[in-house]
Amino acid sequence: MSTTIIPEAESQQSSGPAAGRGSSVPSSGASARMAAIAAVTNYQPTTRPLNFSETPTQDLFSANVFSKKVMKDRLPKPIFKSLVATIEAGEKLDSSVADIVASAMKDWAIEKGATHYAHVFFPLTGATAEKHDSFLSPNGEGTAIAEFSGSQLIQGEPDGSSFPTGGIRQTFEARGYTIWDVTSPAYILENPNGTTLCIPTAFVSWTGEALDKKTPVLRSMEALNRQAQRILTLFGHEDSAFVASTAGPEQEYFLIDRHFFFARPDLVNAGRTLFGAKPPKGQEFDDHYFGAIPERVLAFMLETERELFKLGIPVKTRHNEVAPGQYEIAPVFESANLATDHQQLMMTTLRRVAEKYGMACLMHEKPFAGVNGSGKHVNWSLGSSSQGNLLDPGDTPHDNAQFLVFCAAVIRAVYKYQGLLRAVVASAGNDHRLGANEAPPAIISIFLGDQLTDVFGQIKAGGANSSLEKGTLTVGVDVLPPLPKDAGDRNRTSPFAFTGNRFEFRAVGSNQSIAGPLVAMNAIVAESIDYCASQLEKATQGDPESLHSAVQTLLSEVINECGAIIFNGDGYSDAWHTEASERGLLNLKTTADALPYLQAPEVQELFEKYEVLSERELESRLETYLEQYCMTVNVEAQLTIEMARTMIFPAAIRYQNELAATCANLKLVGYEFDTDTLDVATSLVKSLQDSIAVLDKAMSEDGAVDLVDEARHCCDVVLPAMSTVREYADELEGIVADDLWPLPTYQEMLFIK
Ligand code: ADP
Ligand code: MG
């Protein structure tokens, strides 16, 4: 029996206009794509251009910040002095000043149009949270007055019961308090319809446990200062100016048009594409890196920077990154706590301003498979107002000896706590980046550069003689050649690199808060400095003459014990993996491997000893991060199933049907049809369906006894099953008729601007 099969195109024509590249109203699943492309190519700016000559940038800097200058102008002298002592010297806050500060702050904010104030805090999700309250209170006589008391400034009580706490709070005892952080200035957040006074705060439970990212940053900074002072004292610097850790985070991100973004459920819900074949032209030409910045993007950057400037965030550099559609922004470094708050504001601002320019800012570590991911290089050092940067090699031998002690302390810290450094950058997103031959490997090592490697090499070999430039090298006694600021060449493959006067931790993910990495660096270096100071104090016993030989002994001991962490070679190579394992270095490949390291006894001991995190606080963090990992993978898996079933499968069978129809119709009129493509399509459709079923089953198998177990299951079973679905879907993308394909392609998202 022969049936007449009506060709697909014809059947569609009866119900609507034909699909196709050229037609304006396609009837296939590709309509969203076509509409997006049309919208992108017709983009017109909707905002008034900024005029920088009317308001020069320098007039804008910190315009919305309750800065030291504003405080000086508005506060009585003793109160101002007391605040500055807390901010700059880390002295205990005198809470009796709060009422006066609050009143000055309120007046200032109201002059700037504020109607509300908000305690801003940083929950463990890595996001920024804020609770807004009006300044107005009814006065009982039918009117209201603007009020803001010292106690409202110092403490708030948001109902933060839904924030993750890793078991510290039950929802029925959900009291959490926000506490004013004087060291991070209040600022005004603008909105076209009014402004809000924002007060950075720490977020703690009613039992006093940290529920946030800020509290441990502050605690770790104090620990680092305490220990660093001991080394400075040994070297004769007794002024005790606060030694702060400093941070300069370089943020990478992607920009794509919002129309593409909203046509991709995976980008909207997971922040990354779960499907998408590699474009014919990727980044291999390197023609995007440092290339001219497209006009719309540059307009966005100018406005972002202007907004950040108003908030007192010292943004400095901007450029195109390696991948098409990828960019970077970096501020000048600041004290770690301030840098952390500013980094959060920077991410919020990037997202907000991108929307205004019709774009979506993607901060995910790997929004596009096969295309470079995004990291956040956290430049880290420590220094004080009197001593400057303590990781600056300087040019006098005396300073060099001191520098070498601090540097050795960092080397020892990274060696001893590799696992912790790996754990604090672990996340579902960053797993797609670390170790993927474009970002640092999951093995933590230090790049020291030729100069320093040479110096430490000599110390290891006895330390007495050096042939570096002129003179001999006996640390601190004879002439040590001044180290150049740029310690040799760059190495882009190292996760932790010395870059002249600071270390650059490059394994941090673009979407992560920098708080965790900073807490870890501050704490491990504090522990190491503690160790070094104790050794030196013991060896010198108050005899400053013996300091230099004690330093010599200490340095050679550290380099002998911990030198295995130094690696200047190619971190992407397979040979490094083999060598690293021979050296006994950890290689924690995934989040499921790395996170449990937070429970290692030495990590617990470290945080407890330096009062950075209690055992319970640490445990709650581990639990929260594991939970987040599992939730992320589960959402992605659900999305994969949904998109595969409702978008990709339908497109595939429509095309399959079209091919089958053509085949049948050709046969009717006596032609042969080469069924190769139909065969491939049919087999892929089958494989797609089967792989969806496997993923579905992987998700419903819930044998996990605890979160570590569940994370393992996500990592070892669910993620590979997702990849398989993707593989078939991406292959289908390569054969299904373009006008039927429902998802904006990589090529469109990355190249149509
Ligand atoms: P590159 O891309 O060459 O690494 P960038 O200029 O993009 O350099 O970023 C370097 C970052 O390092 C900047 O944020 C800079 O302020 C920061 N930095 C410089 N000195 C220090 C320091 N002492 N402590 C912390 N960060 C620093
Ligand atoms: Mg860099």
Residues whose CB falls within 8 Å of the CB of residue 640, separated by 6 or more in sequence, listed in order: 266, 274, 275, 695, 722, 725, 726
Give the nearest ligand 1 atom to 249 CA. Answer: 14
Name the pLDDT band for 419 (thresholds 50, 70, 90). Answer: very high
Nearest listed ligand to the Cα of residue 506: 2
In this structure, the answer to whether residues 28 and 10 fall within a common structural domain is yes
Average pLDDT over residues 355-383: 96
**209-211-216 Cα angle (round to 5):** 80
In this structure, the answer to whether residues 252 and 198 fall within a common structural domain is no
Higher pLDDT, 548 or 609: 609
Ligand 1 lined by 388 (C-beta under 6 Å): no
Whether 16 shows a pLDDT value over 60: the answer reads no
State the pLDDT at residue 742: 94
State the pLDDT at residue 113: 94
Whether 25 shows a pLDDT value over 70: the answer reads no
Name the pLDDT band for 34 (thresholds 50, 70, 90). Answer: confident
Ligand 1 lined by 252 (C-beta under 6 Å): no
Ligand 1 lined by 516 (C-beta under 6 Å): no
Give the nearest ligand 1 atom to 328 CA. Answer: 7
**487-338-598 Cα angle (round to 5):** 75
Number of domains comprising the chain: 4
Assign 483 to helix, strand or coil. coil
If you measure from the C-alpha of residue 489 to the centroid of ligand 1, how many angstroms do you get, rounded to a whole number? 16
If you measure from the C-alpha of residue 500 to the centroid of ligand 1, how many angstroms do you get, rounded to a whole number? 10
CATH number for the domain including 553? 3.30.590.10
Sign of CA dihedral 136, 142, 143, 146: negative
Average pLDDT over residues 95-111: 93
Whether 8 shows a pLDDT value over 70: the answer reads no
Rounded distance between C-alpha atoms, residue 435 and residue 495, angstroms: 10
Name the pLDDT band for 488 (thresholds 50, 70, 90). Answer: very low
In this structure, the answer to whether residues 229 and 374 fall within a common structural domain is yes
State the pLDDT at residue 551: 92
The answer to the question of residue 556 being in a domain is: yes
390-410 pLDDT tens trace: 999 875 434 588 999 999 999
Closest residue (by CA) to atom 14 of ligand 1?
248
Q: For residues 523, 529, 533 and 539, what is the CA-based torsion angle, rounded to 10 degrees? A: 130
In this structure, the answer to whether residues 603 and 644 fall within a common structural domain is no
The answer to the question of residue 112 being in a domain is: yes
Ligand 1 lined by 358 (C-beta under 6 Å): no
The answer to the question of residue 128 being in a domain is: yes
Name the pLDDT band for 346 (thresholds 50, 70, 90). Answer: very high
Nearest to 435 by CA among 341, 571, 598, 602: 571
Higher pLDDT, 58 or 494: 494
The answer to the question of residue 135 being in a domain is: yes
Give the nearest ligand 1 atom to 377 CA. Answer: 4
Last residue of a domain, one of 187, 209, 231: 209
Radius of gyration, CA atoms only, the chain:
29
CATH number for the domain including 752? 1.20.120.1560
Assign 270 to helix, strand or coil. helix
Q: Torsion-angle region of residue 487: left (phi > 0), alpha (psi -120 to 50) or beta?
A: beta
Rounded distance between C-alpha atoms, residue 570 and residue 83, angstroms: 48
Ligand 1 lined by 379 (C-beta under 6 Å): yes
State the pLDDT at residue 161: 67
Instruction: Please return the burial class of 97, using the count of CB atoms within 10 Å of its CB with bins 0-12, 13-18 and 19+.
Output: buried
Ligand 1 lined by 486 (C-beta under 6 Å): no
In this structure, the answer to whether residues 385 and 313 fall within a common structural domain is yes
If you measure from the C-alpha of residue 330 to the centroid of ligand 1, how many angstroms do you get, rounded to a whole number? 8
**511-514-520 Cα angle (round to 5):** 130
Last residue of a domain, one of 570, 586, 613: 613
Ligand 1 lined by 319 (C-beta under 6 Å): no
CATH number for the domain including 203? 3.10.20.70
First to last CA, the chain: 53
In this structure, the answer to whether residues 625 and 609 fall within a common structural domain is no
Ligand 1 lined by 250 (C-beta under 6 Å): yes
Rounded distance between C-alpha atoms, residue 341 and residue 330, angstroms: 14
State the pLDDT at residue 482: 43
In this structure, the answer to whether residues 622 and 603 fall within a common structural domain is no
Token digits of residue 533: 């100071």
Rounded distance between C-alpha atoms, residue 660 and residue 666, angstroms: 10
The answer to the question of residue 228 being in a domain is: yes
Rounded distance between C-alpha atoms, residue 416 and residue 602, angstroms: 9
Nearest to 169 by CA among 125, 123, 207: 207
State the pLDDT at residue 410: 98
Higher pLDDT, 448 or 27: 448
721-735 pLDDT tens trace: 999 999 999 999 999
The answer to the question of residue 396 being in a domain is: yes
Rounded distance between C-alpha atoms, residue 6 and residue 8, angstroms: 6
Mutate to test the pocket of ligand 1, among 338, 502, 505, 522 (most ligand atoms within 8 A of CB): 502
If you measure from the C-alpha of residue 291 to the centroid of ligand 1, how many angstroms do you get, rounded to a whole number? 21
Nearest to 461 by CA among 564, 579, 555: 555
Q: Which residues pair with 246 in a beta bridge?
A: 335, 381
Ligand 1 lined by 533 (C-beta under 6 Å): no
If you measure from the C-alpha of residue 504 to the centroid of ligand 2, how many angstroms do you get, rounded to a whole number? 7
437-475 pLDDT tens trace: 667 789 999 999 887 888 888 888 876 344 344 333 344
Nearest listed ligand to the Cα of residue 514: 1
Share of the chain above pLDDT 90, in %: 66
The answer to the question of residue 57 being in a domain is: no
Last residue of a domain, one of 584, 613, 642: 613
322-335 pLDDT tens trace: 788 999 999 999 99
Residues whose CB falls within 8 Å of the CB of residue 225, separated by 6 or more in sequence, listed in order: 90, 242, 243, 244
Ligand 1 lined by 246 (C-beta under 6 Å): yes
In this structure, the answer to whether residues 34 and 101 fall within a common structural domain is no
Residues whose CB falls within 8 Å of the CB of residue 222, separated by 6 or more in sequence, listed in order: 90
Ligand 1 lined by 126 (C-beta under 6 Å): no
State the pLDDT at residue 479: 36
In this structure, the answer to whether residues 646 and 591 fall within a common structural domain is no
Domain of 204, in residue numbers: 75-209
In this structure, the answer to whether residues 418 and 562 fall within a common structural domain is yes
* Least confidently predicted of 3-12, 50-59, 629-638, 656-665: 3-12
The answer to the question of residue 47 being in a domain is: no
In this structure, the answer to whether residues 196 and 230 fall within a common structural domain is no
In this structure, the answer to whether residues 331 and 402 fall within a common structural domain is yes
Ligand 1 lined by 389 (C-beta under 6 Å): yes
